[in-house]
Amino acid sequence: MLHSLIPQLSQNPNAKLSKAAMLQKGAEYIRQLRNDRMALKDEIDSLRLQVDSLNSAISNCQALLPATGAPVSRNRNNKMKEMFDEYVRMRTQENWKFWLLSLLCEPLLVSFNAQVSTQSVEELYRTTLGWVEQHCTLSVLRPLVLNALRHLCTTTDILTEPNRLPAEARAATNKPSGRPPSS
C-alpha cells in the first residue's frame, strides 16, 4: 500500500526496500508536497496582492472619471441652449406666460445636459432617473423657484408696473441673454 502512495516507490514496484528506506522515501515525498504547497500558497498570496493592487488602481482611475460618464461636448450644450431659446421665443410669442415657465426650466436644462448621458438607451434611462432623483426634489426645486422669482423681480417691472410684464416677457426672448430690456 505504501508503494502506491509514494511516486518514487511506485516507479519500481519490484525493487526490494527496507521499511526504513520506504519511510525515508515517504518522508522526502511529504517534505516535497509541503514545499510545493507552500510555494502554491506564496503564489496565491502574491496573486491576491496583485489583484488587490489592480482593484485599487481601477478604483483610483474610476474616481478620476466624471460621475456622468464621458463629458458632454460644448457643442452639444450650445446646440441644446440654442434650441431651448428658440423654443421659448416661439412659445412666448404665442403666450407670454411661457417665458415665466422658462425661467424655471432653464437651470433644469443645464443640469440635465451636464448629468444625463446619451451613449445608449440604457445609459440614458439610468442617468435620467439619477438626474430626476437629484434635481427634481422639493428641496432642490424650492430654491430654483425662489431664484426664478428673484430674477423676475430684479429684471422686470413686475413689482411697480405688472401690466408691462407681457411686453417685457416677449422682449426678453428677443434678446440673447433672455433678460428683458432695461427701462
Domain ranges, ordered by start, for the chain: 2-64, 74-174
Angle between the N-to-C axes of helices 97-115 and 165-174, in degrees from 0 to 180, rounded to the nearest 10:
40
pLDDT in tens, 92-122: 999 999 999 999 999 999 999 888 888 888 9
Q: Are 116 and 131 in contact (CB under 8 A)?
A: yes
- What is this structure's pTM? 0.54
pLDDT in tens, 149-177: 999 998 999 889 999 999 999 999 887 65
- The span from the CA of 150 to the CA of 17, in Å, is 102
